[in-house]
Amino acid sequence: MFTSEELLVIKDALRIADEEYIKLIEENKNSKTRLVAFNRKQKKLWLVQNKLKKILE
């Protein structure tokens, strides 16, 4: 379905998104609702990263 090069590009994009969520979580530590929302999105991103890692192996 995807070539190994395309999967590596997707992996890099997910890494960049993860870094962005970490930054947003740090910026919104005072707002509990925003913090929870970003944390949930980051957890979903981690699930995708784990599945991609299994595909690459």
- Is residue 4 pLDDT above 90, yes or no? no
The arithmetic mean of pLDDT across residues 19-37, rounded, is 92
Dihedrals φ, ψ of 34, to 5°?
-70, -40
The arithmetic mean of pLDDT across residues 5-17, rounded, is 93
Q: Which pLDDT band, with edges at 50, 70 and 90, does 10 fall under?
A: very high
- Is residue 2 pLDDT above 90, yes or no? no
What is the count of structural domains for the chain?
1
Is residue 32 included in any domain, yes or no? Answer: yes
Domain encompassing residue 48: 28-57
Q: How far apart are CA 55 and CA 8, in angstroms?
A: 11
If we measure between CA atoms, which residue out of 40, 49, 44, 37 comes closest to residue 12?
Answer: 49
- Is residue 43 pLDDT above 90, yes or no? yes
Is residue 38 included in any domain, yes or no? Answer: yes
Alpha helices in 1-57 (DSSP H): 4-27, 32-56
Model pTM?
0.80
- Is residue 56 pLDDT above 90, yes or no? no
